[in-house]
Amino acid sequence: MRINGIPVEELLRCHADRLESAAASASASEEAPPAEPAIVEKAGFTVAGVAFEANLREIAEQELGTRALEKVREARGQFGGRLSDAVYLVQIYPMKPGFNPHTDAFTQLIGYAVPEGTAVPEGFAVRSLPSREYVKLTHVGLESELGRTYDLLYGRWMQENGRQPDGYDFEVWDDRYKPDRDDNEIDVYVALKP
């Protein structure tokens, strides 16, 4: 039997293939739902590592972040009290009108979470952050595309939720940190004003 000149068996096979393809797509979307920002409460913590002040342009041009990360990883054994092997990037912004991270300097600290009061090697900085509520989002994709995640959190999310940032944020670079790969994952936390 034929419909519009096409054998029925072929039409049924094509229909079955479409249903199978749709089911596979639905299954894939169930496995990896799009990430949504979430409010989380974090206890206070301390980070020890390399600190510097610069704007985003200077950080990129002078490879300040890359050099700081290398220095921290080389000194890893000297941070015997570190709480994990995850590296933290803490960014502290001046609370001034019109702040623009592309042109205005801010503080970056790249290091390890350590117990409060930990002695650190000479030439390294320590910063304690208070217990705080954060908006958290896991960035998935190339590190070079991280700006979209920050734009979402600092822009649309803050406006839609009536919240304000509290002058700093941090990233966690753990075993999922693969900055030049599509499967890279970075947890981003933006401190929220109470």
Q: Establish if 20 belongs to a structural domain.
A: no
Domain of 120, CATH number, reads 3.20.80.10
Three-state secondary-structure class, residue 72: helix
Residue 30 neighbours by CB distance under 10 Å: 8
Number of domains in the chain: 1
What is the pLDDT at residue 119? 86
Tokens of 12: 């049924």
What is the pLDDT at residue 34? 52
Please report, in tens digits, the pLDDT of each residue of the chain (194 residues total): 433 344 434 433 443 444 344 444 443 334 444 579 999 999 999 999 999 999 999 999 999 999 999 999 999 989 878 999 999 999 999 988 999 999 999 999 999 999 998 888 899 999 999 999 999 999 999 999 999 999 999 999 999 999 999 999 999 999 999 999 999 999 999 999 99
Beta strands in 4-156 (DSSP E): 6-7, 38-42, 45-54, 87-92, 106-114, 125-129, 132-140
What is the pLDDT at residue 81? 86
Q: Establish if 5 belongs to a structural domain.
A: no
Tokens of 95: 């609370």
pTM for the full predicted model: 0.81
Tokens of 75: 């000194």
**Containing structural domain, residue 187:** 39-192
Q: Establish if 15 belongs to a structural domain.
A: no
Three-state secondary-structure class, residue 158: helix
Q: In whole angstroms, what is the distance from residue 150 CA to residue 54 CA? A: 18
Chain centroid offset of residue 25 CA = 27
What is the pLDDT at residue 14? 42
What is the pLDDT at residue 12? 38
